[in-house]
Chain A
Amino acid sequence: GQQLNQSPQSMFIQEGEDVSMNCTSSSIFNTWLWYKQDPGEGPVLLIALYKAGELTSNGRLTAQFGITRKDSFLNISASIPSDVGIYFCAGHLFTQGGSEKLVFGKGMKLTVNP
């Protein structure tokens, strides 16, 4: 089945540093989504990407939809303590049977040292 390989699995950084994470797959996706999940809560959508090559920013966050439609990356610049959490990528695709599904990466746990 479709799988997303998300890396790295975890990162420990100092406040103010930038961090990058990416997701790759052997499948082609129509939409890439990036989420953040805080402890005890559900994921919150950060950025949505809709077409190959698209580069989108949301404050200190920047994400890109890969040209091949099989990968995406997320950058966080000038990290702050509240950036701590688990970041997930997700890809939206249509299956051969005509249904839709959202496939998630395993997540990247970010720790920011003040």
Chain B
Amino acid sequence: KAGVTQTPRYLIKTRGQQVTLSCSPISGHRSVSWYQQTPGQGLQFLFEYFSETQRNKGNFPGRFSGRQFSNSRSEMNVSTLELGDSALYLCASSSTSGSYNEQFFGPGTRLTVL
């Protein structure tokens, strides 16, 4: 069974640009959660999508948005990039919403904002 895949693995953008990251969950998993990981703040929850609906949301500005497709694949978009958005963005999938004990993480997308 293939694991969670994230594309691209590395990305370099400049301030003011926007970026879209993609996450493909484990087959059969319908919940996808997104996290931001930085050395200073650690791992922080962004949002969770289940059955194409945002179920839970962390404390991030509206520049961070996401969506989920009918095949459970999810995308995260960050608009008007700031230097502080440089981070490892992780997605995790689980079979149902809130099943954090069954959550599997992908390898992440390393975003660098110059």
Main secondary structure of the interface of A (DSSP, over half): strand
Q: How far is A31 from B98 in the complex, measured between Cα atoms in Å?
A: 11
B101 touches A99 (CB 8 A): no
Q: Which residue of B lies closest to A35 (CB)?
A: B105
Q: What total count of A-B pairs have CB within 8 Å?
A: 57
Query: A99 to B56, Cβ gap below 8 A?
Result: yes
Interface size in chain B (residues, C-beta < 8 A): 25
B9 to chain A, nearest CB (A): 9
B101–A33 contact, CB under 8 A? Answer: yes
Task: Assess whether B56 is in contact with A104, with CB atoms less than 8 Å apart.
Answer: no
* Interchain CB contact under 8 A, A33 and B100: yes
Choose the segment among B11-19, B40-48, B78-86 that binds chain A (4+ C-beta atoms closer than 8 Å). Answer: B40-48
Q: Which of A18-54 contact B (CB under 8 A)?
A: 31, 33, 40-45, 48, 50
Q: Is the CB of B45 within 8 A of A102?
A: yes
| Contact pattern, B 97-113, Cβ under 8 Å of A = 1, otherwise 0 | 11011011111100000
B100 touches A92 (CB 8 A): yes
Asked if residues A99 and B45 are in contact (CB atoms below 8 Å), the reply is no
Is the beta-carbon distance between A43 and B100 smaller than 8 angstroms? no
- List the B side residues contacting A92 at CB < 8 Å: 98, 100
Say whether, besides A31-B100, A42-B4, A106 and B56 are in contact (CB < 8 Å). Answer: no
State the 10 A-B residue pairs at the shortest beta-carbon distance, nearest first: A42-B105, A104-B43, A48-B101, A106-B42, A99-B56, A100-B98, A92-B100, A42-B90, A43-B105, A102-B100
Please give the residue numbers on chain A whose beta carbons come within 8 Å of chain B beta carbons, in ascending order: 1, 31, 33, 40-45, 48, 50, 88, 90, 92, 99-107
